């Protein structure tokens, strides 16, 4: 069943055509990946589907009654709204009314709350109050948390919750995995696999796309090609399409050259020439001029510093690091040798960026030591683009006032260097604020890779990059002879690049595994299997030793905690199972269930705190 139909949609920005008479149909149940290079207009295409911008020409037909929800690529700015209010805003008028009701109750304005309550009754809005709480629970979000206190990954979850609360027929997601940790990405992947609505998705995460989509929309030089297959088959068919295009263009160019030779024959030949052939040649010339040649590949490579680094880059000995009451690193040791490629993964807030700052001497550990090579020359990619001045021209940002850059022993003009990263001469002189997210990341890479370095630190470099640039970056990093430290949530990228993986497991626990992400999973499972097979004698001895300093009553309390906690966890699971059923919210007892759930979760937290204190 067609939900959205695009009929000869065209759109241009200035002199650049973005969409060229694009036509297609989006059906119920489609899970579509929208793929194309940075700057091709993927986000613009999404905004047309969402109705936030109008095309220059053509028609967008949306079936009557179809609800569309759109998650934008850009995260919301800092604000003092709590998460309940932000998610409620996704419901429109009824959401605003529920916000007002909650604020009146919290401020003790009961008379005002009573008036709003009548309006909620008229709108039949109480069911939505429960749905807001349920979806906040689904994403493990606290309704009272203020948005400005959250990291990028958690903000992304908040905006996903806001998009999904509407229960849309069509869900538009623009780079939903940016800034998310791998656990959150896997959770989102499972959710979207089971999603019964229609999905249009932009993402650079190949593992993520591969597990979800059943169609691919390929946006290339203003034209849209539709592939009715999954991502793996799309890659094969796209390569075949590009190869066929290359052959056709070569034949066309050869024919044009022959015709140009013919048209330049002597006066006698020109008197007798075939006028139809002349018109055909003119048409070919126009076609050649108007043909939008596929952009060249990004030429990426890093410079190695001429001064050789010592064999030992970092020696980390039993370091500890705490912020307030939070332990981010606990008794961790490791050696980093020259030429090693190390990946770092972990949940949002687990301390990945903090760990990098400890290595680079920007922070000092509370205890332990870090010995650093004196020959380190650093190139650092910052995930938040903090060093980008939006008003600076691209060429000035990369060149730092130089007209030419030494690359591989050869002097290159700055514009020529930027062309290797797919920036035209006009773009090189454009202010950075005009660039897309992917183009900004590409510009950051152009800058750091122009600097001689023997230590490359990349903090989430894959965000917003197109797949082709990602693959070329992978090739460069594999060939890079210096030391690489990489923070990434891109599983495929980690598998293809790193030789070992450092995992921030939380509560300060850090482990290092050989290989990439998949290798880490195999080794972790092996450790868990070994622990299952071990007898639990040691645990019993440890508990006995810990309880020696406790009196009899405290020992009994400590002994009873596991049973009490287990009972509460069972009750919580039962209520959460009820809340996962939308029909349950039609019942009056759903409100009581939410109150009970909140009380049980508070009890559980209190029991764990007491248990920890006694231990």
Cβ neighbours of residue 408 under 8 Å, at least 6 residues apart? 301, 303
pLDDT of residue 288: 53
**Global pTM value:** 0.66
- What is the C-alpha to C-alpha distance for residues 484 and 464, in angstroms, rounded to an integer? 21
- What is the C-alpha to C-alpha distance for residues 347 and 136, in angstroms, rounded to an integer? 19
pLDDT of residue 539: 44
Give the strand order in the sheet containing 223-227: 68-71, 170-174, 198-202, 31-35, 215-220, 223-227
pLDDT of residue 547: 42
pLDDT of residue 127: 85
pLDDT of residue 267: 40
What single DSSP character describes residue 534?
S
- What is the C-alpha to C-alpha distance for residues 160 and 69, in angstroms, rounded to an integer? 10
- What is the C-alpha to C-alpha distance for residues 567 and 139, in angstroms, rounded to an integer? 24
pLDDT of residue 276: 58
The candidate with the shortest Cα–Cα distance to 350, out of 512, 136, 510, is 510
- As given in the structure block, the two tokens for residue 249 are 């263009």
- What is the C-alpha to C-alpha distance for residues 429 and 415, in angstroms, rounded to an integer? 9
pLDDT of residue 583: 57
**Quick check: 174 and 203 in contact, CB under 8 A?**
no
Segments in the chain below pLDDT 70: 14-15, 78, 259-310, 383-387, 407-409, 530-554, 556, 573, 576-592, 594-595, 598, 602, 615
Q: H or E segment at 101?
A: helix 93-106
Residue 309, number of CB atoms within 10 A of its CB? 21
pLDDT of residue 406: 75
pLDDT of residue 549: 60
pLDDT of residue 418: 86
Residue 59 pairs in a beta bridge with: 7
- As given in the structure block, the two tokens for residue 235 are 């890659």
The region, left, alpha or beta by phi > 0 then psi within -120 to 50, assigned to residue 105 is alpha
pLDDT of residue 367: 93
Query: Looking up tokens 């199972």, which residue turns up?
Result: 577
Work out whether strand 378-381 and strand 223-227 pair parallel, antiparallel, or are unpaired. Answer: unpaired
């Amino acid at each position: 069943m067609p939900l959205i139909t695009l009929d000869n949609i065209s759109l241009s920005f200035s002199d650049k055509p973005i969409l060229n008479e694009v036509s297609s149909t989006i059906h119920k149940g489609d899970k579509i990946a929208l793929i194309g290079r940075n700057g091709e207009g993927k986000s613009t295409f999404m905004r047309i589907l969402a109705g936030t911008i109008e095309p220059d020409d053509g028609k967008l037909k949306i079936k009557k009654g179809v609800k569309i929800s759109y998650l934008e690529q850009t995260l919301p700015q800092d604000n003092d709204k709590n998460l309940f209010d932000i998610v409620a805003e996704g419901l429109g008028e009824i959401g605003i009314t529920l916000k007002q009701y909650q604020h009146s109750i919290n401020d003790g304005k009961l008379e005002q709350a009573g008036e709003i309550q009548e309006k909620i009754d008229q709108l039949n809005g109480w069911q939505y109050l429960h749905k807001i709480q349920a979806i906040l629970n689904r994403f493990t979000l606290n309704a009272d948390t203020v948005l400005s206190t959250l990291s990028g990954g958690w903000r992304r979850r908040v905006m996903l919750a806001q998009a999904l609360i509407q229960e849309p027929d069509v869900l538009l997601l623009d780079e939903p995995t940016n800034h998310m940790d791998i656990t959150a990405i896997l959770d989102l992947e499972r959710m979207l696999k089971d999603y019964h609505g229609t999905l249009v998705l932009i993402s650079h995460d190949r593992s993520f796309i591969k597990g979800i989509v059943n169609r691919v929309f390929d946006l290339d030089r203003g034209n849209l090609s539709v592939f009715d297959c999954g991502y793996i088959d799309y890659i094969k068919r796209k390569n075949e399409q590009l190869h066929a295009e290359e052959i056709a263009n070569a034949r066309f160019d050869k024919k044009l050259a022959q015709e140009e030779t013919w048209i330049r024959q002597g006066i006698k030949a020109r008197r007798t020439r075939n006028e139809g052939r002349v018109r055909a040649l003119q048409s070919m010339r126009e076609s050649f001029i108007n043909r939008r040649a596929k952009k060249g590949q990004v030429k990426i490579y890093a410079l190695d510093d001429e001064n050789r680094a010592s064999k030992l880059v970092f020696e980390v000995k039993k370091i500890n690091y705490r912020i307030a009451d939070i332990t981010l690193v606990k008794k961790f040791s490791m050696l980093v040798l020259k030429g090693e490629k190390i990946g770092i993964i972990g949940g949002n807030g687990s301390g990945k960026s903090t760990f990098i700052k400890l290595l680079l001497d920007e922070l000092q550990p509370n205890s332990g030591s870090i010995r650093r090579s004196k020959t380190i020359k650093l190139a650092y990619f910052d995930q938040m683009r903090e060093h980008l001045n939006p008003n600076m021209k691209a060429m000035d940002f990369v060149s730092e006032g130089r007209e030419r850059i030494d690359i591989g022993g050869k002097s290159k003009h700055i514009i020529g260097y930027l062309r290797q990263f797919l920036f035209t001469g006009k773009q090189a002189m454009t202010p950075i604020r005009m660039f897309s997210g992917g183009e900004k990341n590409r510009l950051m890479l152009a800058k750091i890779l122009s600097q001689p370095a023997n230590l490359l630190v990349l903090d989430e470099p894959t965000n917003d990059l197109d797949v082709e640039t990602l693959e070329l970056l992978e090739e460069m990093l594999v060939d890079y002879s210096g030391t690489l430290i990489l923070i990434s949530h891109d599983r495929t990228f980690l598998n293809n690049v790193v030789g070992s993986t450092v995992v921030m497991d939380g509560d300060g626990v850090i482990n290092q595994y050989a290989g990439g992400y998949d290798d880490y999973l195999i080794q972790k499972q092996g450790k868990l299997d070994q622990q299952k097979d071990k007898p639990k004698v040691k645990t019993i001895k440890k508990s006995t030793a810990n309880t020696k300093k406790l009196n009899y009553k405290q020992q009994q309390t400590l002994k009873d905690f596991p049973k009490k906690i287990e009972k509460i966890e069972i009750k919580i699971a039962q209520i959460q199972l009820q809340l996962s059923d939308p029909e349950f919210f039609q019942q009056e007892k759903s409100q009581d269930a939410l109150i009970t759930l909140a009380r049980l979760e508070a009890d559980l937290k209190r029991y764990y705190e007491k248990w920890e204190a006694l231990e």
